[in-house]
Amino acid sequence: TNNDQNIKIFPNPVLNTFTIQSDISLHHIEITDAYGKLIQKVDTNDKSISVNVSTYPAGMYFIRTINKSRFHDKMFKIVKQ
């Protein structure tokens, strides 16, 4: 069996807002900069969430998605234009 969750983050690169879509509910997401500094944490119980990054400086960021079991934590890279 494949326990892997399917997660999409778009658009990437992003200008103002990106969306995370998952086939299972997310518990929260963490956004860190290229140096690993936590920039934003978003709590959610949804399968889809939009995040506004319009005030972020341009550059590379990492998105960590965490579900309730913490079993399927995933890391994604996005570029803010």
| Whole-structure pTM value | 0.85
Closest by alpha carbon to 76, among 15, 3, 21?
21
Q: Which are the contacts of 40, defined by CB distance < 8 A and separation ≥ 6? A: 30, 31, 51
Convert the pLDDT of each residue in 6-51 to its tens digit.
Answer: 899 999 999 999 999 998 888 889 999 999 999 999 998 889 999 9
